[in-house]
Amino acid sequence: MQDFVQHLINGVSLGSIYALIALGYTMVYGILKMINFAHSDVYMVGAFAAYYFARWLGIENNPGFSTLLTLIVITMICCSLLGLVIERLAYRPLRNSPKLNVLITAIGVSLFLQYSGQVVFGADPKVFPEVMKDFVIFSIGIVEVRSFDVTVLGVGIVAMLGLQFLLFKTKMGRAMRAVSANPMVASLMGVNPDRIIAFTFVVGSSLAGIGSVLVGMKYPKIDPLMGMMIGMKAFVAAVLGGIGNVGGAVLGAMIMGLSEEMVVAYLSSTYRDALAFGILIVILIFKPAGLLGKYSVEKV
């Protein structure tokens, strides 16, 4: 039983990271009805931004809350700017093009960032700076609650609550929901869809930046292809919960994190990555709209 509780804690911590990245997928899909496959590579760039800025500022060997906060702010800014550039240069010109064109472009941008990262950052893995000290906060028997797990969960909850507040308690959030429902009608009501879509990319990319720092802190090895697998798992989490649904993305991410941890603990780590694809296949067969997604009729 104690082993199960420990795996439960680890799974929730992992699910919090998946949730931050899955929210970026689901937000863009909710507004544009497109999958931003470059989102996982924005996350990768955020990790390298944190790595190089930590060295430039001389805080790579000064673990603490201030270091964590500094790197989170830096990565949020860098990822926001990159997301804005991607939206402006790659996606906006294709706004009225067939969805297949946009999909191919998204894959192309993802590959461009991956291999540009290998050229700029180098293909060899790098050790992420020591952001915080990992220690046992308290233990019950063999169950340990460590500072990394609490930090990841705490930062993830704050970020997700902040997103909920933005979407449902602010004027910008109302505009985002209006554009998601009907961009044309929203524009007639005085909302600028281009501005709202760009802001959506900024917010989603910021969340990916936060996730990159948390992953670097917990699993301190980064490389230019690090976004590929975690991006796929976050995408599966978004589909599982109902892509376009913010609450569904968080639910799907938690299910993904817990499932992955339990598979590693009680079956074999060999099936860890295969689990995501298995869940995706099952969901697409039995409930294509996801757990909290809604079926809609498309007019043609």
- Top-ranked range on mean pLDDT: pick from 62-66, 131-135, 199-203: 199-203
Contact between residue 257 and residue 11 where contact means Cβ atoms under 8 Å apart: yes
pLDDT of amino acid 296: 60
Task: Return the minimum-mean-pLDDT range out of 45-59, 77-91, 107-121, 267-281.
Answer: 267-281
Q: Encode burial over 4-20: b for 16+ CB neighbours within 10 A, e otherwise.
A: eebbebbbbbbbbbbbb
pLDDT of amino acid 72: 94
pLDDT of amino acid 188: 85
Which of residues 145 and 86 earns the better pLDDT score?
Answer: 86
The span from the CA of 174 to the CA of 162, in Å, is: 15
Query: pLDDT per residue over 210-253, tens digit each?
Result: 999 999 988 888 999 998 888 888 998 998 888 888 888 899 99
pLDDT of amino acid 298: 53
Q: Over 70: is that where the pLDDT of 153 sits?
A: yes
Find the mean pLDDT for residues 181-191.
87
For residues 40, 42, 47, 52, the Cα torsion angle rounded to the nearest 10 degrees is 160
Which pLDDT band, with edges at 50, 70 and 90, does 266 fall under? Answer: confident
Question: Where along the chain do its domains lie?
Answer: 13-226
Kindly report the average pLDDT of the chain as a whole number.
87
Query: pLDDT per residue over 70-125, tens digit each?
Result: 999 999 999 999 999 999 999 999 888 888 888 899 999 999 999 999 999 988 99
What percent of the chain lies above the pLDDT cut of 70? Answer: 97
Which of residues 295 and 69 earns the better pLDDT score?
Answer: 69
- The DSSP-derived string for 134-172 is --EEEEETTEEEEHHHHHHHHHHHHHHHHHHHHHHHSHH
Which pLDDT band, with edges at 50, 70 and 90, does 44 fall under? Answer: very high
Tell me the backbone φ, ψ of residue 142, rounded to 5 degrees: -95, 0
Distances (CA, A) of 223 to 73, 121, 127, 137: 21, 8, 9, 30
Distances (CA, A) of 138 to 129, 133, 142: 25, 15, 10
pLDDT of amino acid 148: 84
pLDDT of amino acid 52: 94
Q: pTM for this structure?
A: 0.89
Burial of residue 267 (number of CB atoms within 10 Å: 0-12, 13-18, 19+): exposed
Which of residues 291 and 211 earns the better pLDDT score?
Answer: 211
Which pLDDT band, with edges at 50, 70 and 90, does 126 fall under? Answer: very high
pLDDT of amino acid 1: 65
Find the mean pLDDT for residues 140-146.
76
Distances (CA, A) of 262 to 13, 183, 234, 238, 272: 13, 42, 17, 20, 9
The span from the CA of 14 to the CA of 178, in Å, is: 32
